[in-house]
Amino acid sequence: MPITIIVEGKNDRSRLRRLLAPEVDIQCTYGTLNTLKLETLRRNIGDREVYLYMDNDSSGKRIRGVLGDAFPDAVHIYTRRGYAGVEGTPDEYSITQLEKAGLEEFILYPPPLPYLEP
């Protein structure tokens, strides 16, 4: 199942890239949307399954709304209010949200910490 996650900026993409397998396509809006950008996204994404992971601020909510209209079947992934956007969301929280979206097979889990005997 080919998938695309749309985020706002390149720092968001870099943060997610560390957590996801290389076959996951991550597209950026670069914080703005217009007709040309939407058509480019549609063309780049094709028939992939779409996930939206935006910042929990007014700009992110606006972009999520526009993208939700453009990709009505998209799955919405949310960061917590108070985090500094997707790029400032702790990896553990993003992993939990990606799991909730059903993307476990694409997550690159960090290695477990070694057990230390007392």
Contact of 89 with 79, CB cutoff 8 Å? yes
Q: Taking a C-beta distance cutoff of 8 angstroms, is the pair 6, 52 a contact? A: yes
What's the predicted TM-score (pTM) here? Answer: 0.88
The rounded distance, in Å, linking the Cα atoms of 83 and 60 is 13
Instruction: Tell me if 7 sits within 8 A of 86, measured CB to CB.
Output: yes
Which tokens belong to 55?
Answer: 């910042």
Whether 42 maps to a domain, the answer reads yes
Burial class for 106, CB neighbours closer than 10 Å (0-12, 13-18, 19+): middle
Q: Is residue 117 part of a domain?
A: no
Residue 34: which CATH number? 3.40.1360.10
Reported as a single tens digit per residue, the pLDDT across 7-38 is: 999 999 999 999 999 999 999 998 778 888 89
- Ranges under pLDDT 70 in the chain: 1, 116-118
Please tell me the predicted confidence (pLDDT) of residue 30.
85
Within a domain: 113 = no
Predicted local distance difference test score (pLDDT) of residue 96: 93
Domain-embedded: residue 111: no
Q: Name the domain count of the chain.
A: 1
Q: Which domain holds residue 13?
A: 3-106
**24 lies in some domain:** yes
